[in-house]
Amino acid sequence: MSDVIDQDIAACAGIVQRGDPDRFAAVMAVKPAARDVLFPIYAFNVEVARAPWVTQETMIAEMRLQWWRDGLSEIIAGGDVRRHEVVTPLAGVLDAHGAGVLDWLVEARRWDIYKDPFEDQAHFERYLMQTAGGLMYIAARALGDVREDVARDVGYAQGLANWLQAIPALESQKRVPLVDGRPEAVAALAQDGLRRLKKARAARGAVSSAAGQALLAGWQAETILKQAAQEPHRVIEGALGASEFGRRAGLMARALSGRW
């Protein structure tokens, strides 16, 4: 049975490496035991995030997301769970509460299926909090003690940074990714992300060292958000982010210090 589990973890790692290489790099920078917990959670996230984009048929996309929700329902119920390279190991690292939070993540991803804009700023913030914020909270919680609001704020900042980087691609898909795309509004959005990140770091004592390994995934958020706050035109130009050397050096520095 352990061989099957090892194969599942390896499959999950491959999914993350191909679908979310930055998060893969962050996981490889933590302790091996933590990787076995994080890879199934992050593989789940990759599969759910891509589900709305692999088809133009809205009903098929809805069915794909529902399949994942059904898997989470099985975990919540505590009985038999379907045999699957992601769902099976996921059931080994989640409890009912964790599966419930990830169910909200899947529900939020339904926005990705359609081309309607966000209803308002509150809807946009809720989307990021349920997706990136929820993911960060559950990943950290699966490793150790963590205060929910701290993990969610780090996740929100990371999610916002990733979202701002994706703006050109989203607009090329005829999506309306922001409620207000004016440069001053984008700068204010980035500043809010930085505020949340600063607030979370001020509460480092509420995050155990074990749980803090998951927060390492947000290592690029500060750099990207500062760029967007100071030079919002870089968002539409697709010019956010550090060099490859800078990214890797930043990850290494935070991994060695443990200061996410």
Instruction: Give backbone dihedrals phi and psi of 200, rounded to 5 degrees, phi first.
Output: -65, -45
Q: Which two tokens stand for residue 162?
A: 């990733």
Average pLDDT over residues 175-196: 97
57 burial (CB, 10 Å; 0-12 / 13-18 / 19+) is exposed
Predicted model pTM: 0.96
Q: Give the chain's mean pLDDT.
A: 96
Nearest to 98 by CA among 121, 78, 115, 127: 78
Read off the DSSP letter of residue 117.
Answer: P
- The predicted pLDDT at position 185 comes to 98
Separation CA 22–CA 161 (nearest Å): 13
Q: To the nearest whole percent, how much of the chain has pLDDT over 90?
A: 93
pLDDT digits (tens, 9 = 90+) for 237-254: 999 998 998 999 999 999
Q: Which residues does 157 contact at the CB level (< 8 Å), separation at least 6?
A: 193, 194, 196, 197, 200, 218, 221, 222, 225
CA atoms within 13 A on the CB side of 164: 35
Give CA separation, 240 vs 102, 210, 243, in Å. 29, 30, 10
Residue 1, pLDDT > 70, answer: no
pLDDT digits (tens, 9 = 90+) for 13-45: 999 999 999 999 999 999 999 999 999 999 999
Separation CA 147–CA 135 (nearest Å): 14
- The predicted pLDDT at position 144 comes to 98
Residue 126, pLDDT > 60, answer: yes
Separation CA 221–CA 163 (nearest Å): 11
SS3 content of the chain, % helix, strand, coil (to 5): 75, 0, 20
pLDDT digits (tens, 9 = 90+) for 3-16: 777 899 999 999 99
Domains of the chain: residue spans and CATH: 1-114 (no CATH), 118-260 (1.10.600.10)
Confidence band of 165 (pLDDT split at 50, 70, 90): very high
In single-letter form, the type of residue at position 52 comes to P
Cβ atoms 96, 76 nearer than 8 A: yes
Residue 174: how many other CB atoms lie within 10 Å = 7
- The predicted pLDDT at position 114 comes to 94
Angle separating helix axes 121-128 and 148-172, nearest 10 degrees: 110
- The predicted pLDDT at position 4 comes to 77
- The predicted pLDDT at position 74 comes to 98
Confidence band of 170 (pLDDT split at 50, 70, 90): very high
